[in-house]
Amino acid sequence: MSIKRLFFAAVLVTLLVAAWIPSPSITVAAETKPLRVAVIMPSATTDMAFSQSMFSALKAVQKEMGGEKAMELKYTENMFKVPDAAAAIRDYASEGFDIVIAHGSQYGASVQEIAPDFPETTFAWGTDVNTFGLDNVYAYTAAAEEGGYINGVMAAMLSKSKKIGVTGPIEVGDAKTYIDGFVQGVESVDKKISVSKTWTGSFSDVALMTEAAKTHIAAGADVLTGSSQSVVGSIGAAKDKGGVLWFGTQADQASLAKEIVVASQVYDWTGMLKDIIAKRAKGKLGGEKYVLQLKNDGLKVAFNPDYKLPDDVKAAAEKAIAGIKDGKIKVEP
């Protein structure tokens, strides 16, 4: 059938042209031999949350090192499926990348399996603290409960209805520890405030996260928070309703709704990345763990400059930050 042949010929030509188009990845000057870094992420580099926090840090480190000539950076995003991520991790290691970052707690088993096959490659993965006893694996995590506590303190002071809603994805990892810390922060101000939690069972279901936020608002909550890349839906619901405040985590979420986002806990991986690069240069390929904390500046609280935060609330937040840094306040993960 000629029309069929014509169609498949058109598809073939399209694929060949697509394959010929140079990829947008960062080019490398042949003569300099830059550090080659690859990162595999579960969501998009623009997710306003977990993946974006790592990608932004890598770009910042790349810029600080002198740009593409000093550090080649390649990335694979939207790797929600672990087998696909495992294939990407192995591919990058096979291609001779110096550092391969598996940015997702679900990638641990893959790193454990692949890393021994590439003893010259440094692997980093998180959020977790397990290096599996391997000399070429770094593990990293964030003490998300610390920023959660700070956000909780502010949320409790700002809530007028004394009802706060939490929209979470799955009850694991830093999503859970952030929320646990948040609840402790709220209780440190007023134990009578009701904190309701919903879990959607998905890191990516924006529509369900939106519905969860709307349910909290309908139940009377006037302050919301939540974790994962799908909380953009919650922020949208709060913004549409008006008069409902939002506290973010993982990345600065103020740009999504500058009138309602009070503050965000921001993961800053740059210090950890620079340390890993420096240690690798000295021959230490792995075997250590990193924990982002307020006191090591891995965690930061970004106050939204467009939101007029009352002075007493900001003072309480800063006091809590100082308390956590000097150990006077203990937040349980």
Partner 1 sequence: MLITAFAAFFIVLNTGNIWLGLLAAILTGLVMGLLMSFISVTLKAEQGISGIGLHMFGLGLSSLLFNVLVGTVKTVTGFQPVKIPLLGDIPFIGEILFNHSLLVYGGFLLVPIAWWVLDKTSWGLMIKSVGQNPAAADSLGVNVDKVRYISVCVGAMLAGIAGASLSISLLNLFQDNLTAGMGFIAVALVYFGGWKPLGIMGGALLFSTVNAFQLWMQVLGVNIPSDVAVMLPYLLTIAALAVTVNRARQPAALNKPFERGES
Enumerate binding residues for partner 1 (CB under 8 A). 3-4, 7, 43-48, 52, 78, 165, 171, 196-202, 204-208, 210-212, 215-216, 219, 229-230, 232-233, 235-236, 239-240, 255-257
Taking the C-alpha atoms of residue 171 and residue 200, their distance in angstroms, rounded to an integer, is 9
Distance of closest approach, residue 80 Cβ to partner 1, in angstroms: 8
Our CB check for partner 1 shows the closer of 212 and 324 to be 212
Our CB check for partner 1 shows the closer of 172 and 277 to be 172
Distance of closest approach, residue 187 Cβ to partner 1, in angstroms: 15
Distance of closest approach, residue 314 Cβ to partner 1, in angstroms: 26
Distance of closest approach, residue 201 Cβ to partner 1, in angstroms: 4
Give residue 100's region: left, alpha or beta (phi > 0; psi -120 to 50).
beta
Whether residue 271 contacts residue 296, with contact meaning beta carbons closer than 8 Å, is answered with yes
Question: What is the CA 326 to chain-centroid distance, rounded?
Answer: 25
Distance of closest approach, residue 291 Cβ to partner 1, in angstroms: 27
Our CB check for partner 1 shows the closer of 188 and 202 to be 202
Distance of closest approach, residue 121 Cβ to partner 1, in angstroms: 27
Distance of closest approach, residue 318 Cβ to partner 1, in angstroms: 29
- Residue 115 per-residue DSSP state: G
In three-state secondary structure terms, 142 is: strand
Torsion over CA: 241, 243, 248, 254 (sign): positive
Whether residue 44 contacts residue 79, with contact meaning beta carbons closer than 8 Å, is answered with no
- β-pairing, 35-40 with 71-76? parallel
Our CB check for partner 1 shows the closer of 55 and 125 to be 55
Our CB check for partner 1 shows the closer of 100 and 235 to be 235
> Which residue do the tokens 């405040």 mark?
245
Query: 294 exposed, middle or buried (CB, 10 Å; 0-12, 13-18, 19+)?
Result: buried
Helix, strand, coil: what percent of the chain each, to 5?
45, 20, 35
Distance of closest approach, residue 219 Cβ to partner 1, in angstroms: 5
N-to-C CA span, the chain: 65
Report whether the peptide linkage leading into residue 127 is cis, meaning its omega lies within 30 degrees of zero: yes
Question: What is the CA 54 to chain-centroid distance, rounded?
Answer: 6
Our CB check for partner 1 shows the closer of 6 and 278 to be 6
- β-pairing, 299-303 with 261-267? antiparallel
Our CB check for partner 1 shows the closer of 51 and 265 to be 51
Our CB check for partner 1 shows the closer of 175 and 301 to be 175
